[in-house]
Amino acid sequence: MHITNQKLIEWGWKPFWDFHFHPDEYPGCHPARVIRGIRNHYLIRTENGEQPAVLSGKFRHAATASSDTPVVGDWVVILPGGPSGKAVIQNLLPRRSKFSRNAARRSIQEQIIAANIDTVFIVSGLDQNYNLRRIERTLTLAWESGASPVILLNKTDLCPDVMQVRKEVESTAPGVEVFAISARERTGIDAFSPYLAAGETVALIGSSGVGKSTLINTLLGSDRQQVGAVRVKDGRGRHITSVRELLILPGGGMIIDTPGLRELQLWSEGPGLETAFQDIRQLGVSCRFKDCSHTDEPGCEVLKAAADGRLSPDRLASYQKLLKEQSYHLTKVSRSARQSRKAQYKRTMKQAHIIRRIKEKS
């Protein structure tokens, strides 16, 4: 059965979820979108409006990794009318895109911060903050997420030669749209409005001070704190004022603004790096060795291109650096997997020991 409910489509429901949600499997349930999710206090939106929600006990027990639990932007299946009027989340529908960070310092523990973002705006300020290498890096992250990146060059009012910078950025980000705007003066905003159409979900990433909050307020047409604030009951039944993390823009698009999105690191071994550096991959096809690392091999086309000006040496260095980070991350992942296997083994041995003792006693 297909969900043709116009309201759900406005809130971002895509045909993708029609394949994953079969109403007959969930009698009495509805799909809902997570507007905010902190531990087990959720705020969700269904056809009948906004409502607080909790995870079902069964779901909580089945969720072994933190990445299994819903986050802002997720689509979930809910059963209305749980304890104290809260909806009960039965299941999490698959994600079309996700932004993750590593929650642990020494090991690897994926923490998903937001899900189902269609377009990610990479915001960069055209003031002293401008840094081409940082844009490259953020672009890699964006491609990893599954969302499509778009670059916003903000503070055009402070930049004497916007055309020049824009060209430079465009050549660094093949196939990615670049818009020059001023969030403060509200210029250039209309040009990217198709990305903010009804049913579309976007997020802003970029370092502190580039103008993300200013842009969100400009897009909302008011102050975010006022628009986003909502009174919900906490676990003890008290009313608390909390801020929505998924906001609806006047034109119908949605914006996810959640604190963790602003401090992302390179997460997985996914296709991000390859996509962000297509030019290097293409050059690499002509390297003499198939597994060329483009560092010191003879017959390396990438190094040749960097030497004769076809490829910026800074861009190559940036690629190498990200590659190194990725392989460091992968080593940590495999170490982490080893550790968890070891812990599992210990638990099993302990259980066997307990069972043996019980048997001996009886």
| Least separation in angstroms between CB 181 and ligand GDP | 7
Per-residue interface string for the shown chain with ligand GDP, residues 140-159, x marking contact by CB under 6 A:
--------------xx-xx-
Q: Choose among Zn ion, ligand GDP, none what residue 98 binds, the Cβ cut-off being 5 to 8 Å by kind.
A: none
Is residue 224 at the binding interface for ligand GDP, with CB under 6 A as the rule? no
| CB-based burial label for 344 (10 Å; 0-12, 13-18, 19+) | exposed
- Interface pick for ligand GDP out of 184, 233, 304, 332 (rule CB under 6 A): 184
| Least separation in angstroms between CB 123 and ligand GDP | 7
Is residue 168 at the binding interface for ligand GDP, with CB under 6 A as the rule? no
Q: 157 vs 170, which CB is nearer to ligand GDP? A: 157
Q: 211 vs 228, which CB is nearer to ligand GDP? A: 211
Rg (CA), the chain: 24
Q: 14 vs 184, which CB is nearer to ligand GDP? A: 184
For the chain, where are the alpha helices, taking DSSP H only? 6-10, 15-18, 57-62, 132-145, 162-172, 212-220, 224-228, 272-276, 278-284, 301-307, 313-361
Q: Which of residues 262-301 bind Zn ion (CB under 5 A)?
A: 287, 292, 294, 300
Which run of H or of E encompasses 91?
strand 87-92
Q: 161 vs 291, which CB is nearer to Zn ion? A: 291
CA distance 74 to 96: 9
Q: 52 vs 125, which CB is nearer to ligand GDP? A: 125
Q: Are 154 and 126 in contact (CB under 8 A)?
A: yes
| CB-based burial label for 186 (10 Å; 0-12, 13-18, 19+) | middle
CA distance 1 to 4: 9
Q: Are 87 and 53 in contact (CB under 8 A)?
A: yes
Q: Which of residues 302-331 bind Zn ion (CB under 5 A)?
A: 302
Q: Choose among ligand GDP, Zn ion, none what residue 272 binds, the Cβ cut-off being 5 to 8 Å by kind.
A: none
CA distance 306 to 319: 12
- Contacting residues toward Zn ion, per CB under 5 A: 287, 292, 294, 300, 302
- Contacting residues toward ligand GDP, per CB under 6 A: 154-155, 157-158, 182-185, 208-214
